[in-house]
Every structure is written in structure tokens, then in C-alpha cells.
A and B are shown apart, each in its own frame.
Chain A
Amino acid sequence: MAQSMLELANVESSYGPVQALRGVSLSVPEGRIVTVLGANGAGKSTILKTISGIIDPQKGQVKLRGVEIQGRAPDQVVRAGVVHVPEGREVFPLLSVEDNLRMGAYTRRDPDGVAQDLEAVFGYFPVLRERAQQEAGQLSGGQQQMLAIARALLAKPQLMLMDEPSLGLSPKLTKEIFEIIVRINRERGTTILLVEQNAHMALKIADWGYVLEVGRIVMEDSCARLAEKEDIREFYLGVKAEGVRGKRRWKKKKQWR
């Protein structure tokens, strides 16, 4: 396996008295796409928020290239090369598309590089060039998602944290977005940690996957092997044994093996 870009060791995070992460350890190798699957409330977003410094963990380490970054302010984490594409896009609705993109480059001091990257993201998302002067709030959901990813790219990240990019998108758009995520990874060598409920797509594009259940990792494997696991097929991919009656309502117990 390639060298680790990111390592989490025994991370515990909570929202007030509610403990969302109960000891999570995971590793994201450089240049790879790693996905974390899990149901609502499993703690997927919390992992990303803890990495990007929005939440400080009570316990455990977050290491970026071997350097501990847990507890740092979010802007310092961005400067260290980690960008968070939040759930629900969070674009600045009243700024133009271009200004949104420039906000992404806020920490950079190389105008030439920024100009280059701006061209590059217009290459990935031509529609953003067409709408460059429009207010971001007027974009469709899919376009806003594209903008959020593009904005993140402008920070020239080494590691992108993506929180449910498929949320609220049509299957066709989802497919497009995921294709671009793969291209970003392949062409720019950006390491990606992807949190998804759409297990189907995530398992297709990622190299390695973790399954998170109520704040703990219960399973990890290559995505190819995960997609073959019985529990993943039943609980995440919706593939069920038909049974003798042709319909089955009862659920097996999850065993995670």
C-alpha cells in the first residue's frame, strides 16, 4: 500500500453529551479513493468534521503525513492541504460562481497557479464557465454540487474530504459527479476520502472501504471484496435473497464479516 496521507487513531468525538465517534481508526493511502459507508447517524460526517477541524476530538490522533493535526483550527487544516466539501454543498448563494471559486483559493498566494486551476475546473465543469457571473444561489442542485467540488479544488488540496456528493441528485447527475471525482483523483493525484450513503456508486469508484455503525468501524476491505459480502449486499446494496415466498420482510442479523 502507498504511504499514508491520513491516519486516524482511536478518534472519539461527541456533540455535547452525545458521543458520535466511539474510537475510529482508519487510514487513507496517498493517491487513493477511500470511502466510509454507513447509515444515517453512524458518524460519517463527524469523521470528516473532526479531520477538518470543525470538531475537536476528545481522544485519539488525526495525522496528516505523520503530523498530528487534531485540534487545529479549520483554516490551518486547509493550509495544510485538506479541503472539506461539506454535505449540502454550502456555496455562498449571493456571490457569483466565479467569486465562489475565488473564495476557494483564498489561502493561496500564487495568482498564476490559481488562474491555471480555474481553467482546469472549468474543464471539469463546463457549465460553471457558462454561469460564471451568475449568483451561485440560482444554480440547480447538481450545479451547486459541482461548484462546491470546484471551489474545493481551487484550494489545491492534497486531500479532499467529500461528504455525500450524491445527496439529492438524480441518478444521471450522480453518475456524472462520480466520474469527475475519479478524474480528479487520476489526473491530479488528489487523495479522496468519500463519505456516502450511495454504496453502489461509492464501492464502484473507491479502492478501499470502511463500514461505520454507531460510531465504530465494523468492517474494512477492498471495495471489490466488500461488494461481495453478504451483509453489504443486503443492507447497503439492497440485494436480498428472495426466499421461498418471493417476498421477505424480516431482516437478518448483521454480522459484518
Chain B
Amino acid sequence: MEEEKAVALSADALPFGAQPADMGPEIDTVPKMFLRGVERRSAQVILRQKAFGIWQSVGWETLGRIVREVGMGLVALGYAPGEVVSILSNTNREWVYADLGALCAAGVVNGIYPTDAPTQVEYLLADSASVFAFVEDEEQLDKVLEVRERLPALRKIIVFDMEGLRDLDDPQVMSLEALRALGAEHDAAHPDEWRRRIAVRRPEDLAILVYTSGTTGKPKGAMISHANIMATLAAYQASFPQDARDERMCFLPLCHIAERIGGEYHALYTGAVMNYVENPETVPENVREIAPTVFTAVPRVWEKFYSGVLIALRDSSRLQQWAYKAAIDIGRRVAALREARAPVPAGLRLAFWLARRLVLDNVRKAIGVHRARVLITGAAPISPDLVRWFMALGLEMLEVWGQTESCGAVTGNPKDGVKPGSIGIPMAPSEVRLSPEGELLVRGPGVFMGYLNQPEKTAETLKDGWLHTGDVGRVDAEGYFMISDRMKDIIITAGGKNVTPSEWENQLKFSPYITDAVVIGDKRPYLTALIMIDHENVEKYAQEHAIPFSNYASLCRRPEVQALIEGELGKVNQHFARVEQVKRFRLLETKLTAEDEELTPTMKLKRKLVNEKYRDLIESMYAREAA
């Protein structure tokens, strides 16, 4: 019951909608917000990172000093206000140092995914006209060195981790350490410069560039202003209040708007502690160590947690399995009543209390969400059943919706009125409405400035102050929005039936054996799907059922595995009308990783690319009918 107390406590301290006491209306840019944090919260811890197996804390005062050194280092190198720096690194504390250093020095920051190939890195550095590039390590440095000849604007490359580079003698490359030393020196000689720089940027000025993955054509750099960010933070704090007692886990890419705004900046705004994971692979262990109190993640992460529990359960004793089933059933009944906003009878409340004590709290501990006051999911649609499962564990899971161009979430499920399957209601002051075609339009202070260097794309997206999101959906009587799909992804079958593929795909992804799927069927007689299996779980299934296989491809080809997936597919098909059912499927026989072009950095299959790349495989699903 400890968690309940924590909820009550912070609700008392922070009434719904309250802004952090030390962040007044005069705080209208990120640099000012940061400076205020350093001045008012110097004694508190703001971030931790695990290094050599130990979580190391960094306080506001230290962070303030490091950021100042980095920023003044850039100034010493001739950094002019408004110039762009790019950061090419996994999510870690150095990312934050570079980000804040450049922003406070009146600059603009662009993030590049560490999984990007050198050609993509070149495009992003060139398009953003970056003058400095911060790179994580040797591996990322090599990407920039490979293309630097074609980047005349690039002046210096700054490396976070010099391991393996001690002997490197390159006038264009320096370490973060050297930059900080330079900055400290320059600061001593020009003590007033720092504050002057912090005051330079106006709210309406460009703060960050966020490139959208661009399933079609080149990536587009969305321009986000300081005002966009500050307005979004105020709205987040109103909907999902947090404060210095909260622990967050930072692990999603910081180049993505979700972690940047909802993770880094919201934490700086409120003083919540950011805990940076060791690397993307250690997330499952790190969650348990951190036990975040506020936890934002993408559906894929929640799916992983869920299937992890299901798989572990299969290895447990019959008694444990029975106990889990009994407990989760009670949880589901409570969650269903809460969903219906009906009172929970005292008997059921008692049963749920017992179920939590005996079973569900252990499930929560096994995942690492036992202290979580709130789970926020976004950036991709989530299966409503998955939301209900987390609710059955007694957790608050709130789906939000937004995009890069709206500077993150603009709708969200309110805590006391969650509707699984909906993206919730607009978060004031943003307005959301439907166009006659059913497209969601957004207006508000978070709506971005436009795309860098692409006025025609900007004009297509921003019309009369309304952001055209490209998502189609509907709204119910209570003002909750439901997304059916991306406008351009809607399938019109040969029979003329409109089908929204992601509804089906999201249901299928709920299966522990399936990671992702793409439904195909535009101008086709029936629907088919390309499916990516969950390697670990299917492997385990094969081993338990004595299905021989060697590598990934041979696992996919086993008839028993095909039958397993067909069974999962059949379960999903039941929920859909005949024309919306998937008739055939193929498994992707290559294990895809974030480095592959088929996946977005958030590990979703790119529909268009998959459609083209696997054309033959797709045709094979329609071949018999043609013959």
C-alpha cells in the first residue's frame, strides 16, 4: 500500500494543474528554465547515470557548471547565436550536457539517431547546416569522418567518450573534456558572457530541430521554438504532474520528441530525477533498479513487459499459474468497473487488495513498475487490451497522442476517465477537431514553426493555423478521440472496402509471439499480412515443443511455428468482419534490427518500404488466386 500513499502525498503537494512554484511566466525559454533550476534547486539531485556498475548522481549545481563549461567552450570556438549543433549519440547524460550547453549559448540543437548510417548522418548535418557535431564515441565519430569532406559548414567534432581515440591527432576533432576545459578558461576571461547568452533567445526563436523519419522522401526537420516547448511543458505538468520526488527512467532516443520534451525538459522543468540507462540492451534490468514513479514509454516496451510476464508464467508452477489467473481476473473486474466509472463494491475492493498483496504486486516488481504512479504510452497506437492488463495490475496507464509537429502530446486520457483504445481528450490550451475527411487537426501554442528548408511541405501541413496531422479518427460524445489510422495508410480493397490496417496490426501485436506486422490489401481481393515474430518467445516455444530449428530463418519456416502464428492470427480475425480479416500471411525471415532500413528508430516496420522491399513475398500470397 506504499504506492497509494505516494500518490496521495504528491496529489496534496501538487494540486491538479499546478506549475512548479519556481517557474513563473517570466521563464519563457529553455535556457532561462535551466538557469532558474540551477539557482533555486542547487542542493537537489537532477540526474543519475550508471557507470562501472554504480549509479552516479549529478546535482543541479554540478550540472549547471558542466553545461556552462560546454556552452562557453562552444562560444570560445566562435559559436554564434542561432547556429545549429547536432548530437549523434545514444541517450546518456553527455547528450544532456551538449543539448543544454548549446541551447544556453543561444544555439539550436538537432539530434541524430545513433543507428543512422553515414549517408543519413551526412544528409542531416548538411540540411541542418550544423557547425558542430557532438558524437558519442569512436563508432559514431567514424560516421562523421567518413562524410566530413562534403560538409563545409562543419567546424568541429566533439567526442564524448575518447576510448580508443587517445592517439587520434585530427585538428577537427576534440574531446568533450577538452571543450569543457576551453569553456572554463573562456568563462574566466569573459564572466558576463554566459548570462548574456542565456538572455539572447526569445520565446518565438527556434530551439530544436527534430527530423521526422519520413517514410516517403527525405527526412523533414521540424522546427520547434522555445515557446512551443514551454507551452507543452505547462500542459504536461497540468495533466501529468510530477516533482522533485519523482524518479524517471530515460532510455528512449533523445532525438525523438517524446523523450526530449516528456523526459528531459519536463524533468528539468519540475526537478524530477532523470535516470539514464546504461545502454538500450540493459533497459529491463535498469527498470527494476530505478523503479520509476513516472514512466513514459512506447507500446513496444509495454508489449515486451507483458509478454515477459506471460512467458515467465509458463515456467512457473501450477499453483502460481492458478494464483496469477485468479488475481488478474479480480484485477480485470476492478479495471472494468473503473473503465465504466462505476463504484467498486467493498468486497471486490478487499479481494483486489488481497490479489495485489499476494500476486499482482510481485508481477509489478518483476517488471519494475511497482512504484509507478502513472504510466504514459504514446508515439504509436497501443492495443486496448494491453492498457486493460496494466490497469488490472492496479496501474494507471494513460495513452497520449501527438506528433513531432505538435511538439509532443496534445491529447491524453485523464487519470479518472481512462478509455482504453482512445487517445483521450485535448490537453488545454490545445484544440483538436476533425476535418470533414475525418483528419485530426490541432491548433495551439505547441504547434511547430514549420519544416526547415521546405516551405511547400510546411504549407501542406499548416493551414490557417491548424496543424494537419495525417491521422484519421473520430470523436465520441464525451470528446474522446479515437484514431483509426494514418490517412495515407488506409487500404481500399479491390471490393471497395475501406480498411484501417493498424487496428488489426495492434491487436496482433498483443500476442507474445509477434513483434510487428504489416497488413496489405490495397486494390487486392483480400487482406494479407507480413509478420515479424518475437525471436525470443518463439524460440522458447519451439524448444518447449521439441520443434527442431537452427537459425532464425529455419525457425520461421517450421510448420509448427507457422501454425502457431496462424493460430494467433485466427484469434485476432475473430474480432473483425469478414472483409477485414487477414486471409494469408508470411513471416519475415530476416531478424531486423534498428540499423535496418525496414524499421523506424522506434522499431516499427515502415509500411511503404516493406511493401516495396518484399514485393515478391507479397505477390506470392496472391499468386494462387491469379492462376
Contact = CB atoms under 8 A, between A and B. Distances in A.
Contacts of A22: 543
B138 interface: yes
B623 interface: no
B590 A250 contact: no
The main secondary structure of chain B at its interface with chain A is loop
Given A12-B543, A249-B138, A256-B591, A25 B145 contact: no
Contacts of A10: 542-543, 546-548
B445 to A, nearest CB: 41
Given A244-B146, A245-B142, A9 B546 contact: yes
B322 interface: no
**Residue among B142, B145, B551 with the highest chain A CB neighbour number at 10 A:** B551
A25 B590 contact: no
Contact of A26 (B145, B146, B168, B550): B550
Contact of B142 (A25, A217, A243, A255): A243
Given A248-B138, A249-B164, A255 B593 contact: yes
A250 B139 contact: yes
Nearest to A7: B548
Contact of B551 (A8, A23, A218, A245): A218
Nearest to A212: B550
B549 interface: yes
A219 interface: yes
Contacts of B590: 257
B591 A25 contact: no
Contacts of B554: 220
Contacts of B259: none
B385 to A, nearest CB: 30
Contact of A23 (B139, B164, B168, B542): B542
A60 B546 CA distance: 7
A199 B591 CA distance: 24
B194 interface: no
B551 A248 contact: no
Contacts of B39: none
A220 B137 contact: no
A216 B550 CA distance: 8
B425 to A, nearest CB: 42
A212 to B, nearest CB: 10
A25 B548 contact: yes
B204 interface: no
A26 B138 CA distance: 39
A90 B593 CA distance: 44
B550 A245 contact: no
A109 interface: no
Contact of A25 (B146, B164, B168, B550): B550
B539 interface: yes
B550 A210 contact: yes
A172 interface: no
Given A9-B548, A25-B548, A250-B137, A245 B543 contact: no
A253 B593 CA distance: 10
A22 B550 CA distance: 11
Contacts of A249: 138, 163-164
Contacts of B595: 253, 255
A220 B554 CA distance: 9
A23 B138 contact: no
**Residue among A26, A245, A253 with the highest chain B CB neighbour number at 10 A:** A245
The main secondary structure of chain A at its interface with chain B is strand
Given A217-B551, A220-B554, A243-B142, A23 B539 contact: yes
Nearest to B540: A23
Contacts of B168: 245
Nearest to A25: B548
B551 A219 contact: yes
A12 to B, nearest CB: 7
Interface string B133-144: 000011100100
B36 to A, nearest CB: 39
Interface string A195-226: 00000000000000010000011111000000
B138 A250 contact: yes
Contact of B549 (A12, A25, A245): A25
**Residue among A12, A60, A243 with the highest chain B CB neighbour number at 10 A:** A243
B92 to A, nearest CB: 16
Nearest to A216: B539
B552 interface: yes
Contacts of B137: 250
A257 B591 contact: yes
A4 B164 CA distance: 48
B546 A244 contact: no
Interface in B159-175: 163-164, 168
Contacts of B547: 10
Interface string A34-60: 000000000000000000000000011
Contacts of B550: 25-26, 210, 217, 219-220
Nearest to A249: B164
Interface in B566-615: 590-591, 593, 595
A244 B145 contact: yes
Interface in A230-257: 243-245, 248-250, 253, 255-257
Contacts of A256: 551-552, 591
A255 B553 CA distance: 12
Contacts of B543: 10, 12, 22-23, 59
Contacts of A253: 593, 595
A244 B551 contact: no
Interface string A106-149: 00000000000000000000000000000000000000000000
A59 B163 CA distance: 44
Closest 7 CB pairs of A and B: A25-B548, A249-B164, A23-B543, A250-B139, A9-B548, A217-B550, A244-B145
16 contacts: A10-B546, A10-B547, A10-B548, A23-B539, A59-B546, A217-B551, A218-B551, A220-B550, A220-B554, A243-B142, A245-B142, A245-B168, A256-B551, A256-B552, A257-B552, A257-B591
Given A243-B142, A244-B146, 15 more contacts: A9-B546, A10-B542, A10-B548, A23-B543, A25-B550, A26-B550, A59-B543, A219-B550, A220-B550, A249-B164, A250-B142, A253-B595, A255-B591, A256-B551, A257-B590
